[in-house]
Amino acid sequence: MALTLIESAKIALGRDEVLKATVMELYAKNSDVLQYMPFENIAGNALAFNREKTLPDIGFRAVNEAYDEGTGEVENVTETLAIAGGDVDVDKFLVDTGGEGQRATQESLKIKALSLSITKEVLKGDVTSTPKGFDGLQVRCTGDQVVANSSAASGAALSLVKLDELIDAVDEPTHLIMNKALRRRLTAAARTSTVGGYITYDIDAFGRRVTKFNDLPILIADKDNTNTDILPFEEAAASGSSVCSSIYCVSFAENGVMGLQNQEMQVRDLGELETQPAYRTRVEWYITLAILRPRAAARLRNIQNATAIA
């Protein structure tokens, strides 16, 4: 059964378990995407599965006639786990004079950095440039699962008609993912009578307000661990100008878009190092992204940072 990080964080026993629960909750709190994306435990370091490609032919027959035989086509997909994590060292002097809170502060900073790094990988990961990572949604969304917001050479303002088309390209959609600027464009459009847009609001697990468009929560991909925009207006348009961004629609579900892990993330208190007077905590996660059915994710591209249109 796939669980979100919030659900996985509910069990805590010893220090390592408490650390692990804290890490998972902080991971989710620092990333809209990781808060809602389900994770499934797998055996080994990879998962191989058959994904639907084409359906078999169906026809009609007369009495005493046979059907024409027809089979569907599937593709074999293998998702291999990547190893993500890091070490946190805090000088013994700081702990002795300032208390255990010194370690907690540094652990929280490391956790935030990791969560933002993984969020960027989920969206923009590309093993051709980062072979130790995994492919993200931008690489995985191809063919009919890429919708052009505009055919103009330099892209265009967000079209609500095209946004609806993006949503329709996904079976059982659950969430939209975009940057803050495009969320602002949507909420502004909802206040404009000539444009419109069905905007509502909800509250997440941390008490924060969540914007919804057509009942789909909008998840924000903001900054990565280097304080760089994850979904900037720097994607190349047909003209070659890097002035566009993308919106993603996903179905976060056990048979849709989900994270794979060998086990819940490991958080280990390694104690004082022999080589230096410092306490070390190690956070490590065997993780990758999987899309289990063809129409579980789609991308709307060629969007400029301009006032949205109907």
User: Quick check: helix, strand or coil at residue 208?
Assistant: coil
Q: Are residues 40 and 106 in the same domain?
A: yes
* Amino acid in position 123: L
Q: Which strand (E) or helix (H) includes residue 146?
A: strand 146-148
Distance CA 106, CA 88 (A): 7
Q: Would you state the structure tokens that stand for residue 169, as one six-digit string?
A: 């390209």
Domain membership of residue 173 (yes or no) is yes
Domain with 259, as residue range(s), is: 5-54+74-134+255-291
User: Mean pLDDT over residues 267-294, rounded?
Assistant: 92
Verify that 219 and 299 share a domain, yes or no.
yes
Q: What's the pLDDT score for residue 259?
A: 95
Is the domain of 175 the same as that of 35? no
| Burial track 191-224 (b if 16+ CB lie within 10 A, e otherwise) | eeeebebebeeeebeeeeebbebeebbbbbbebb
Q: With contact defined as beta carbons under 8 Å apart, do 90 and 97 qualify?
A: no
Q: Binning pLDDT at 50, 70 and 90, where does residue 13 land? A: very low
Residue 37 lies in a domain: yes
Within a domain: 66: no
Query: Are the CB atoms for 169 and 144 separated by under 8 Å?
Result: yes
If asked whether residues 196 and 215 sit together in one domain, one would say yes
User: What are the pLDDT digits (tens) for 161-175?
Assistant: 999 999 999 999 999
In terms of domains, do 195 and 303 share one? yes
Residue 12, pLDDT score: 45
Determine contact, residues 16/268, Cβ cutoff 8 Å: yes
**Mean pLDDT confidence for 15-41:** 73
- The pLDDT tens digits for 206-239 are 788 889 999 999 999 999 999 999 999 999 887 7
What is the mean predicted confidence (pLDDT) over 21-46?
A: 81
- 75-94: average pLDDT: 92
In the block, tokens 């699962």 appear at: 145
Does 285 share its domain with 192? no
pLDDT digits (tens, 9 = 90+) for 93-103: 999 999 988 88
Residue 199 within a domain: yes
The answer to whether residues 84 and 162 belong to one domain is no
Q: 272 with 301, same domain?
A: no
Answer yes or no: do 154 and 112 share one domain: no
Say whether pLDDT at 9 is over 80: no
Q: Are residue 261 and residue 125 in the same domain, yes or no?
A: yes
Please give the Cα distance from 92 to 133 (Å, whole number): 33
Q: pLDDT tier at 6 (50, 70, 90 boundaries)?
A: low
The answer to whether residue 59 is domain-embedded is: no
CATH of the domain at 28: 3.30.2400.10
Tell me what pLDDT residue 21 has: 61
pLDDT at 17: 58
Per the domain annotation, does 24 fall within a domain? yes
Residue 63, in any domain of the structure: no
Q: Are residues 130 and 261 in the same domain?
A: yes
Q: Are residues 47 and 122 in the same domain?
A: yes
Q: What are 143-192's pLDDT values in tens digits?
A: 999 999 998 989 999 999 999 999 999 999 999 999 999 999 999 998 88
Number of domains forming the structure of the chain? 2
pLDDT digits (tens, 9 = 90+) for 239-252: 778 899 999 999 99
Whether 255 and 274 have beta carbons less than 8 Å apart is answered as no
Query: Do the domain assignments include residue 34?
Result: yes
